[in-house]
Amino acid sequence: MTTVFAGIDIGGTKTHILLADAVTHTVTEDVTLPSTDWQTRDLHRAADWLIARLSTIADDAEFVRVAVGAHGCETTAQCALLAGALRTALGGIPVTVVNDAELLVPAAGFEHGIGVVAGTGSIAVGRHRDTGVRLSAGGWGWVLGDEGSGSALVREAARALLTHADTGTDLSADPLTKALLSSYGAADLPALAAAMSWDGGVETWGRHTHAVFNAADEGSALARDVIAQGGRALADLVIRLAERGARTDTVVLAGGVITGRPRLWTAVTDRLADALPGTAPHLLTAPPARGALTLALNGGH
């Protein structure tokens, strides 16, 4: 029987599991699975969900320590309850559970800092500089927030077009109009609004983010403004944590919306430079699951 550490990143769409040999610390398994049916409403069911997936790739392994970054674990209490359920299911071994955004800083090789996820949704997570208490900002979902996320960028781009249409402004030639209509296969703005409401719902909005960035590259001032506002909103999440006492010397950003998107990156970093001089922003290049494995190897810290 092999003895291993496990680092797990459970995201909204996929789950990345890394296993490392307990002696050499070399990675022995690197598996990505869909996060289908993952939820944190019932934490015992969530624990069973994860155990079932671990069993498919490590049924003969003995775990030394498991560290999990879990999408949907928004409070310290939630994380502790899920850790307890997993600990019981795994025979009492040490288990650490954090929000998935907390994986970014250790994944980038830093001990302290703020992690910002800009993907389908958005959230910033850090720790108080003196007490170590977990602090978060954002992550409230597409109805109430998630500014700077893929869902929000598409939402705000469509809102900008519809608001201008209400004033009688003709934006039929604007690259943003063309890009969003084409992405949704809609003939006009009423059809776009209907498609966004009924064709798969908000869960699918993020996949249309490319239309906003493409329109900006093609000269749409409206799209550029939406992206700039989204970037400033992401930076504002960090600023709110700083005001609450979080360490901000390092900020690590990750997610499919900001990776490879220099317009959004520039908007974030310019706002941080103005508001928090001395803060060093980093774009994560390693998988967040590396952060989970680092936590497991370092005793959960």
Q: What is the pLDDT along the chain (301 residues), one digit of tens a residue?
A: 689 999 999 987 789 999 999 999 999 999 999 888 888 888 889 999 999 988 888 777 789 999 999 988 878 889 999 999 999 988 899 999 998 889 999 999 998 999 999 987 889 999 999 998 889 998 777 777 788 998 899 999 999 999 999 999 888 889 999 999 999 999 999 999 999 888 666 667 888 999 999 999 999 999 999 999 999 999 999 999 999 999 988 999 998 899 989 999 999 999 999 999 989 999 999 999 999 999 999 875 6
Cα first-last separation, the chain:
27
* Residue 95 and residue 118 share a domain: no
What is the pLDDT at residue 203? 67
* Residue 131 and residue 260 share a domain: yes
* Residue 243 and residue 101 share a domain: no
- Residue 99's alpha-carbon distances to 42, 77, 78, 292, in angstroms, are 16, 11, 9, 10
Q: What does the alpha-carbon distance between residue 38 and residue 40 come to, in Å, rounded to a whole number? A: 7
Q: What does the alpha-carbon distance between residue 296 and residue 69 come to, in Å, rounded to a whole number? A: 11
- Which residue has tokens 């498919």? 56
3-class SS at 51? helix
* Residue 152 and residue 59 share a domain: no
Range of the domain at 181: 110-284
What is the pLDDT at residue 283? 96
* Residue 91 and residue 130 share a domain: no
Our count of domains for the chain comes to 2
User: What's 210's domain CATH number?
Assistant: 3.30.420.40
* Residue 77 and residue 130 share a domain: no
Q: What does the alpha-carbon distance between residue 265 and residue 118 come to, in Å, rounded to a whole number? A: 10
Q: What does the alpha-carbon distance between residue 9 and residue 25 come to, in Å, rounded to a whole number? A: 18
* Residue 239 and residue 151 share a domain: yes
* Residue 69 and residue 36 share a domain: yes
